[in-house]
Amino acid sequence: MKQIKEFKLVEKRDFGRSVLLRLQSEQRLPDIEPGQFVQVRVDGSPSTYLRRPISIHNVDFQKNEVDLLVQQVGEGTRHLAKASVGDLINIMLPLGNGFSMPEEGQKVLLVGGGIGIAPLFYFAKVLNENGVQPVLILGGKTKSDLLRLEEYQQLGETFVTTEDGSLGEKGFVTMHSVWKERTFDKIYVCGPKPMMKAVAKIATEKDIWCEVSLENLMACGLGACLCCVEDTNDGHVCVCKEGPVFNTRRLKW
Amino acid sequence: MVNTTIELGRGLVLRNPVMTASGTFGYGEEYTDFVDLSQLGGIIVKGTTLHPREGNPYPRMAETPSGMLNCVGLQNKGVQYFIDTIYPRIKDFDTNVLLNLSGSTLENYVKGAEMVNELEKIPAIELNVSCPNVKQGGMAFGVTTTGIAQVVSEVRKVYHKHLMVKLSPNVTNIAEIALAAEASGADSVSLINTLMGMAIDAEKRKPKLSVITGGVSGACVKPVALRMVWQVAKAVKIPVVGLGGISNAIDAVEFMLAGASAIEIGTANFIDPAVSAKVARGIIEYCENFGFESVTDLIGALEC
């Protein structure tokens, strides 16, 4: 069941352009699947009217904590990043669908680009809990885009690309040598749309099952306003309700 | 105990003046985790046309100061799909379920209204003659007195329940349009639909919406909506339903003071999905605080 709750900001980690917000609820969290997202109300920012959809970076059900990894891209997220420990933040959750869980023994690849690595953390953690060790390819423009890299590395074998070559192999995630060396049964992708399309193309060529997580502009987050639609084989569908995770076979990419 | 009942005519009775605006509340189902629908006077389900429509391409939304633009373009699966698939799921909601009916031709409006007339649990149509986002979204009918007279009188012939006509603010004199709707058989008018606007991405030198222009909604339109409700309420004898930027109970009361018999909550549902029930409670509190025994006493009680 979806809820709106005031969460208390209990910890904040600064990563420059991005910030990790650890938010705690006084009540028990609802079930949250990897890949789902929240809508955050941005209080006190005159130019921010609508909530901001943010992917769920991690969940601690024991402590009733949800982590959000927020990149400052506009006024709303800039304001959100200024929140102080102790502040109350109004959150609507959990929204959308989650990644499909792979079957036992399947070889799983997670590909994240930029801030798109955020939901893959929680997903990789849940995969580990279910006995699946994923391989990760994480990409950024530069070294400082690879947030929490050591922690990702603990969740699976992790390969890195940067566009400027400051860390890992130089280039895009689709150019990493691991693509030639390994085979995978399932690929999960989150990042900028051109990057997701490029990975989806590889998946189609190799006939590999692939899911992508979209981040279309949205208003309600509940499937009511029909603003965030993506073109699919079933026509325009809401990313907030039928997504954000889609099998690439369903998309008209 | 404040009496909250509102009678809008031809059998449409609301348990309180608060409804949710078409296109902002889905089919009600999307909001049941947040709102007990029995706390509302009614819900108006999303704009439906006789034939299915895919709507406009993405992007369809842009945030604007204290509001938003949309150009959804009446995406819906058509009246028959509504009847077969959605109506059975929502018909027993413990509130009035109104259908917002749109069209591109007179024939489609009439045919759609005929079909909806057969639905026992739909007590009213909100006739959308004011969608600004499709070339033939009805706004062609809604911006002239002859156009509105034509569509309302033809639909009136086949639709025998409450006929609410939703007016466009994108006109020179909205009171004239409202009078034409009234004279043609409308049981009530609701206003305002969205104001036409646009947004530009200066860095890319491109419009932010796929079809360049769209409809503005949200708190920023409230003063315009309030003025139009006041003008229309003075002009017509049928009930006026006010909407446009209502975000809390005091906003709702202002619309009623300006002459609205009921109100709709639209874009505010996106920010707080529970806002509609809060507004319904808040109107009662206002009445208690200021000694009104019935919410009907608020209608047009503006002193000026």
Q: Give buried/exposed letters for B270-285 (b at 16+ CB in 10 A, else e).
A: bbbbbbbbbbbebbbe
Across the interface, of B55, B58, B66, the residue whose CB is closest to A49 is B66
A40-92 tens-digit pLDDT: 999 988 889 999 999 999 999 999 999 999 999 999 999 999 999 999 999 99
Per CB-CB distance under 8 Å, the chain B contacts of A222 are: 26, 30-31, 273
| Number of residues that make up chain A | 253
Q: What is the mean pLDDT of residues B45-51?
A: 96
Across the interface, of A4, A49, A222, the residue whose CB is closest to B26 is A222
Chain B residues in contact with chain A using a Cβ-Cβ cutoff of 8 Å: 23-26, 30-31, 33-34, 46, 54-55, 57-68, 70, 72, 75, 218-219, 267, 269-274
- pLDDT band, residue B67 (cuts 50/70/90): very high
- Contacts (Cβ under 8 Å, ≥6 apart) of B205: none
CA-to-CA distance for A25 and B25, rounded, in angstroms?
27
pLDDT tops 70 at residue A141: yes
Portion 145-164 of A in contact with B at CB < 8 A:
none
pLDDT of res. B135: 59
Per CB-CB distance under 8 Å, the chain A contacts of B78 are: none
Q: In what order do the strands lie in the sheet with A169-170?
A: A169-170, A157-162, A135-140, A108-113, A186-190, A209-213, A245-247
Across the interface, of B26, B31, B271, the residue whose CB is closest to A51 is B271
Per CB-CB distance under 8 Å, the chain A contacts of B278 are: none
pLDDT of res. B140: 76
Q: Give buried/exposed letters for B21-52 (b at 16+ CB in 10 A, else e).
A: bbbbbbbbbbbeebbebebbbbbbbbbbbbee
B190-241 tens-digit pLDDT: 999 999 999 999 999 999 999 999 999 999 999 999 999 999 999 999 999 9
Name the nearest CA neighbour of A34 among A99, A108, A131, A116.
A99
Instruction: Pull the structure tokens for residue B52.
Output: 């299915």
Q: Which domains does chain B have, with CATH numbers?
A: 6-55+73-197+217-298 (3.20.20.70)
CB-CB under 8 Å, A216 with B46: no
Q: Which residue of A has its CA nearest to B274?
A: A4
Chains A, B: CB contacts within 8 A come to 96
Q: For all residues of chain A together, what is the average pLDDT?
A: 97
Give me the phi and psi of B191, to 5 degrees please: -160, 145
Of the candidate CATH numbers 3.50.50.100, 3.40.50.300, 3.40.50.80, 3.40.470.10, the domain formed by A108-213 belongs to: 3.40.50.80
pLDDT tops 70 at residue B133: no
- Contacts (Cβ under 8 Å, ≥6 apart) of B89: B27, B29
ipTM of the complex: 0.94
List the beta strands (DSSP E) in chain A.
3-15, 18-24, 37-40, 52-55, 58-60, 65-71, 88-95, 108-113, 135-140, 157-162, 169-170, 186-190, 209-213, 229-232, 235-238, 245-247
Instruction: With beta carbons less than 8 A apart as the criterion, state whether A213 and A119 touch.
Output: yes
CA-to-CA distance for A33 and A168, rounded, in angstroms?
30
Instruction: Pull the structure tokens for residue B93.
Output: 């909601």
Q: What is the mean pLDDT of residues B78-107?
A: 96
Give yes or no for A239 touching B (CB within 8 A).
no
pLDDT of res. A221: 98
pLDDT of res. B130: 79
Determine the distance from the C-alpha atom of residue B27 to the mean position of all C-alpha atoms in its chain, rounded to a whole number: 14
Q: Which residue of B has its CA nearest to A50?
A: B271
Chosen for mutation from A38, A49, A75 (greatest number of chain B CBs closer than 10 Å) is A49
Across the interface, of A2, A47, A219, the residue whose CB is closest to B270 is A219
Per CB-CB distance under 8 Å, the chain B contacts of A2 are: 33-34
Chosen for mutation from B37, B60, B133, B275 (greatest number of chain A CBs closer than 10 Å) is B60
pLDDT tops 90 at residue B134: no
Residue range(s) in chain A whose domain bears CATH number 3.40.50.80: 108-213
pLDDT tops 60 at residue B137: no
Q: In which residue are the tokens 């969460």 written?
A: A7
Across the interface, of B30, B58, B272, the residue whose CB is closest to A223 is B30
Instruction: With beta carbons less than 8 A apart as the criterion, state whether B228 and B191 touch.
Output: yes
Name the nearest CA neighbour of A66 among A127, A25, A28.
A25
Given B71, B131, B220, B287, the catalytic residue: B131
- Dihedral sign computed on CA atoms, order A95, A99, A100, A103: negative
CB-CB under 8 Å, B66 with A219: no
- Which class for B303: exposed (0-12), middle (13-18), buried (19 or more C-beta within 10 A)? exposed
Instruction: With beta carbons less than 8 A apart as the criterion, state whether A211 and A246 touch.
Output: yes
pLDDT tops 60 at residue A162: yes
B5-32 tens-digit pLDDT: 999 999 999 999 999 999 999 999 999 9
- pLDDT band, residue B136 (cuts 50/70/90): low
Does the structural domain A3-95 have CATH classification 2.40.30.10?
A: yes
A226-236 tens-digit pLDDT: 999 999 999 99
- Dihedral sign computed on CA atoms, order B260, B264, B270, B276: positive
CB-CB under 8 Å, B23 with A225: yes
Instruction: Pull the structure tokens for residue A132.
Output: 């699946």
Range of weakest confidence among A200-214, B128-142, B287-301: B128-142
Based on the residue annotation, tell me whether B304 is a catalytic residue of this protein. no
Q: Phi/psi class of residue A3: alpha, beta or left (left: φ > 0; alpha: ψ in -120 to 50)?
A: beta
Residue range(s) in chain A whose domain bears CATH number 2.40.30.10: 3-95
CB-CB under 8 Å, B61 with A227: yes
Across the interface, of B30, B58, B68, the residue whose CB is closest to A229 is B58
Beta-bridge mates of residue A65:
A24, A60
Q: What is the mean pLDDT of residues B96-112?
A: 95
Name the nearest CA neighbour of B26 among A176, A92, A2, A227.
A227
Q: Which residue of B has its CA nearest to A76?
A: B63
Instruction: Pull the structure tokens for residue B112.
Output: 């759609």
pLDDT of res. A46: 85
B162-187 tens-digit pLDDT: 999 999 999 999 999 999 999 999 99
CB-CB under 8 Å, A51 with B75: no
Per CB-CB distance under 8 Å, the chain B contacts of A224 are: 23-26, 30-31, 46, 269-270
